[in-house]
Amino acid sequence: MSYIANENRYDRMEYYRSGKSGLKLPAVSLGLWHNFGSNGSFDNMKDMCKTAFDYGITHFDLANNYGPVAGGAEENFGRILATDFKPYRDELVISTKAGYYMWPGPYGDWGSRKYLISSIDQSLKRMGLEYVDIFYHHRPDPNTPLEETMLALDAIVKSGKALYVGISNYNKEQTEEAAAILRDLKCPFIINQRKYSLFDRTIEEDGLKSHAAKDGIGVIAFCPLAQGLLTDRYLDGIPKDSRIVTDGRFLKEGDITVERLNQIRALQNIAKERGQSLAQMALSWILRDGEVTSVLIGASRASQIEENVKIVGNTKFTDDELKQIENILK
Q: How many domains does the chain have?
A: 1
Give the model's pLDDT for residue 232.
87
Percentage of the chain modeled with pLDDT above 70 = 95
Is 269 within a domain? no
Which structural domain range is residue 184 located in?
A: 9-255+285-315
281 contacts 270 by C-beta, under 8 angstroms = yes
Is 144 within a domain? yes
Give the model's pLDDT for residue 257.
87
Q: Average of pLDDT values for 159-164?
A: 99
pLDDT digits (tens, 9 = 90+) for 277-328: 999 999 999 999 999 999 999 999 999 999 999 999 999 999 999 999 999 9
Is 266 within a domain? no
Give the model's pLDDT for residue 233.
83
pLDDT digits (tens, 9 = 90+) for 209-241: 999 999 999 999 999 999 999 998 887 766 666
Report how far residue 179's alpha carbon sits from residue 150's, in angstroms, rounded to the nearest whole number.
9
Is 273 within a domain? no
User: Checking phi first, is residue 256 left (phi over 0); if not, alpha (psi -120 to 50) or beta?
Assistant: beta
297 contacts 28 by C-beta, under 8 angstroms = yes
pLDDT digits (tens, 9 = 90+) for 260-289: 999 999 999 999 999 999 999 999 999 999
Give the model's pLDDT for residue 253.
67
CA distances from 252 to 155, 226, 263, 278 (A): 40, 12, 17, 20
pTM given for the model: 0.95
Is 276 within a domain? no
Is 71 within a domain? yes
Report how far residue 313's alpha carbon sits from residue 102's, in angstroms, rounded to the nearest whole number.
39
91 contacts 54 by C-beta, under 8 angstroms = no
* Average of per-residue pLDDT values in the chain: 95
Is 268 within a domain? no
Give the model's pLDDT for residue 242.
63
Question: Is pLDDT at 130 greater than 70 in this prediction?
Answer: yes
Question: Is pLDDT at 250 greater than 90 in this prediction?
Answer: no
pLDDT digits (tens, 9 = 90+) for 60-118: 999 999 999 999 999 999 999 999 999 999 999 999 999 999 999 999 999 999 999 99
Is 274 within a domain? no
The enclosing domain of 174 has a CATH number of 3.20.20.100
pLDDT digits (tens, 9 = 90+) for 8-54: 999 999 999 999 999 999 999 999 999 999 999 999 999 999 999 99
CA distances from 16 to 20, 28, 44, 210, 295 (A): 11, 10, 29, 17, 11
* Residue type at 102 in one-letter notation: M
- pLDDT tier at 1 (50, 70, 90 boundaries)? confident
